[in-house]
Amino acid sequence: MKIAILPGDGIGTEIVAEAVKVLHALDLKFESETALVGGAAYEAHGHPLPEATLKLAKEADAVLFGAVGDWKYDKLERALRPEQAILGLRKNLGLFANFRPAICYEELVGASSLKPELIAGLDILIIRELTGDIYFGQPRGRRTAVDGHFPGSEEAFDTMRYSRPEVERIARVAFEAARKRSKRVTSVDKANVLETFQFWKDIVTEVGKEYPDVELDHMYVDNAAMQLVKAPKKFDVVVTGNMFGDILSDEAAMLTGSIGMLPSASLNASNQGLYEPSHGSAPDIAGKGIANPLATILSAAMMLRFSLNQAAAADRIESAVKAVLASGLRTADIHSSGTTKVGTREMGDAVVAAI
Amino acid sequence: MKIAILPGDGIGTEIVAEAVKVLHALDLKFESETALVGGAAYEAHGHPLPEATLKLAKEADAVLFGAVGDWKYDKLERALRPEQAILGLRKNLGLFANFRPAICYEELVGASSLKPELIAGLDILIIRELTGDIYFGQPRGRRTAVDGHFPGSEEAFDTMRYSRPEVERIARVAFEAARKRSKRVTSVDKANVLETFQFWKDIVTEVGKEYPDVELDHMYVDNAAMQLVKAPKKFDVVVTGNMFGDILSDEAAMLTGSIGMLPSASLNASNQGLYEPSHGSAPDIAGKGIANPLATILSAAMMLRFSLNQAAAADRIESAVKAVLASGLRTADIHSSGTTKVGTREMGDAVVAAI
Ligand SMILES: CC(C)[C@H](C(=O)O)[C@@H](O)C(=O)O
Ligand SMILES: CC(C)[C@H](C(=O)O)[C@@H](O)C(=O)O
């Protein structure tokens, strides 16, 4: 087993260090190698995703990723900005299936913006397609408008697109995931306006016929954004495109109020994967030793389960995290009165001790 | 003053009838004419936006619109489905500026999914561009993929686009609106991924220089979807594109828990406008006399203010609605213990009485 460790920027280095500590506590045999990515890589090598980092990621069975980005890179041309590293890794490794669980832990119900009865017990799995859609569609750029309301004026444009096999494979991922859960899939589209998402809806419906045991429904993206607020627990597995998934998975994560707890996985067709917390690089608290490492630690658990075939080890991490929460330890982001506030390192140590 | 009245489908006819009753109670002089739109127009004339309806709308100073749509039209080809009428009206009348207030009325705080302290006093104005973006961009359709992950396979595609004058004019609308409020604008984009929204961000920044008294900030759409849940009151005026605005304005509306209260306005360059409730046609409760007419009544108030230059009359409607709420009358959607449940018609009568 070979793991590429890419801590990145901001709190990335601190939280990844704790996840690595937890991995070592499991007595598994694995090789690992660390490399720069994002702003850190740009500063050292002039590019957010240097050749060597990409090569390391490609050769590994899995990538454990921290976070990238900082306001100070905002003025760089787009191709050099930290987040291009994420897009580059997704594209080059073909990581088309993004798993974004939105889980509300019992002890953290109070951290949510929502009333407790609406959020307690929430357990949604958003499956976002990650290598298609308007993120990578060509052509894109600037040109002189030939039609529209102001022909002759300057315009910018992008192309949204999905091909049949792209939709088929992400639909299968969703139906398979639903089979291991409550056997319900909601496919989110905008078929009433977009050709791409009428096509999406047609294909998901077709693929759904191969899974007669799974209940499929369809929802427009604007309605999904509403229903997530109104009654989030009505959802189970949600599958959608790259752009809508970007928005809805973040909305769902924030509903829990504890985004510092939420891991994510991005997989390709051979189960090679990139694992990262759902939150960002939080440059405002970087270096202070107060960031919550649990989302990254739980991402390492997903990595063991999905890419490294070590489900038992993954279970051990997840149980340890639950035990630590039950013991009352909290980083600042999820702290409330009656619980014990700890720093990044103490939280990592507590998970190791619970293992 | 000439008003085109387009009740549409589902609860549309019931709620528009109440708004018309309220308009008549104001002793204004106006001409009005009613026409079919949406599914109702399709059934009578084979098209959701018949020529005569479009002509009437074009010749009027304002359109009072109910709602369109019903599951039973789902199997029609897209061009004949009810919602095409809305898209057609927007496009043909050039209604580029959509005003979507998300207001939480004091008496209705309890209806929200959010904890009272997060939502009480909410007053956001989302300004959505309504005639550009991926809604109308060409080319769109199906074809054989030439690049991407599966060249040679069938694909569907759409074009996202904005021209400079389109972004400039909606930015000005937002800055002008902010001047009448708290002088803050948040522009929502996805400049880190999309050419269209880097262009959008650049132009909004440029236009912002003409409004040095208004504070401008920029937020990515995924972050905006999160911040709306976390701390909605931090927003004041939000300006964004057609697609992101569709999603965020519905999310923001649902945060209030009382979408049956929220009006909307869609204006063109000469202040001709279409006014409609933010909610849909609710076919499940159509004909039962229980729908909330207040969003439509408040849309009529927006119509008087924005298109008909009757601000005093608009104020009278808005005060009457507040008085009715204060008196404890509630339709089923916003009813709670200790208040009096009334039907659609009684609610309209109460507003008339309060005028
Ligand atoms: C950083 C950005 C390009 C990225 C995305 O839009 O996919 C991020 O928001 C995410 O969701 O991982
Ligand atoms: C019905 C549909 C085409 C429309 C849209 O997407 O704009 C609706 O959702 C809205 O927001 O008015």
Is the Cβ of B215 closer than 8 Å to some Cβ of chain A?
no
Number of independent structural domains in chain A: 2
Residue A109 lies in a domain: no
Weakest-pLDDT range from A137-151, A244-258, B54-68, B122-136? A137-151
Q: Check whether B313 has a pLDDT greater than 90.
A: yes
Contacts of A254 in chain B (CB under 8 A): 225-227, 229-230
Helix-helix angle B195-208:B164-179, to 10 degrees: 50
Taking the CA of residue B194 and the nearest CA in chain A, the distance in Å comes to 7
In a domain? residue B332: yes
Residues with CB under 6 A from ligand 2: A 192-193, 222; B 83, 86-87, 246
| Domain co-membership, B182 together with B84 | no
CB-count burial class (<10 Å; 0-12, 13-18, 19+) for B80: middle
pLDDT confidence of B83, banded at 50, 70, 90?
very high
- CA B28 to chain A, closest CA, distance in angstroms equals 35
Question: Same domain for B247 and B317?
Answer: no
Region A22-45 average pLDDT: 97
CB neighbours (10 Å) of residue A180?
A: 9
Q: Is A112 part of a structural domain of the chain?
A: no
**From B86, B136, B276, mutation site for ligand 2 pocket: most ligand atoms within 8 A of C-beta:** B86
Contact of B352 with B21, CB cutoff 8 Å: yes
3-state secondary structure of A4: strand
Whole-number Å distance, alpha carbon B99 to ligand 2 midpoint, is 13
Kindly determine whether residue A166 and residue B148, on different chains, have CB atoms separated by under 8 Å: yes
Residue of B21, B183, B250, B322 marked active site: B250
pTM, to two decimals = 0.97
**Which amino acid, residue A351?**
V
The alpha carbons of chain B give a radius of gyration, in whole angstroms, of 20
Question: Which of residues B256, B286, B319 is at a domain's end?
Answer: B256
Q: Yes or no: say if A275 and A64 are a contact pair by the CB < 8 Å rule.
A: yes
CATH number of the structural domain spanning residue B73: 3.40.718.10
A241 and A291 assigned to the same domain: no
Q: How confident is the model at residue A146 (pLDDT cuts 50, 70, 90)?
A: confident
As a whole number, mean pLDDT of residues A308-325 equals: 98
Annotated active-site residue B190? The verdict is: yes
Residue from the list A113, A135, A246 with its beta carbon closest to the beta carbon of B229: A113
**Residues B255, B225 contacting (CB under 8 angstroms):** no
Which segment of A69-73, A316-320, B115-119, B264-268 scores lowest on mean pLDDT? Answer: A69-73
pLDDT tens-place string over residues B141-176? 999 998 778 999 999 999 999 999 999 999 999 999
Q: Whose CA is nearest to atom 11 of ligand 2?
A: B246
Residue A354 vs residue A74, higher pLDDT: A354
- Domain termination site, one of B205, B234, B256: B256
Among chain A residues, CA nearest to B202: A156
Q: Choose among B300, B316, B332, B286: nearest CA to B14.
A: B286
Check if the beta carbon of residue B306 is closer than 8 Å to that of residue B255.
Answer: no
For residues B126 and B237, state if they share a domain: yes
Mean pLDDT of chain A: 97
A106 domain residue, yes or no: no
Whether B326 has its CB under 8 Å from any CB of chain A: the answer is: no
The verdict on residue A117 lying in a domain is no
pLDDT at residue A107, as a whole number = 94
A144 pLDDT band (50/70/90 cuts)?
A: very high
DSSP character at residue A57: H
pLDDT at A147 over 80: no
Residues 6+ apart with CB under 8 A from A31: A1, A2, A3
The reply to whether A211 and A281 lie within a common domain is no
**Helix-then-strand count for chain B, H and E:** 12, 14
Question: Do B343 and B309 lie in a common domain?
Answer: yes
pLDDT digits (tens, 9 = 90+) for B87-112: 999 999 999 999 999 999 999 999 99
If contacts are CB pairs under 8 Å, which of residues 66-105 in chain B contact chain A? Answer: 78, 81, 83, 87, 94, 96
Give the residues across from A263 on adjacent strands.
A277
pLDDT for residue A178: 98
pLDDT for B146: 82
Say whether both B29 and B53 belong to one domain. Answer: yes
Same domain, B129 and B96: no
For the sheet containing B141-144, what is the strand order? A141-144, A154-163, B154-163, B141-144
Nearest by CB to residue B157, choosing from A137, A147, A259, is: A137
Token pair listed for A235: 């959802």
Predicted local confidence at residue A66, as pLDDT: 98
Of A250, A282, A297, which closes a domain?
A: A250
pLDDT of residue A148: 77
- A304 and A207 inside one domain: no
Mean pLDDT for the stretch of residues A76-90: 95
Evaluate whether residue A115 is within a structural domain. no
Q: What is the mean pLDDT of residues A23-28?
A: 96
Q: What is the pLDDT of residues B322-343, one digit of tens each?
A: 999 999 999 999 999 999 999 9
Residue A226: domain span: 124-250
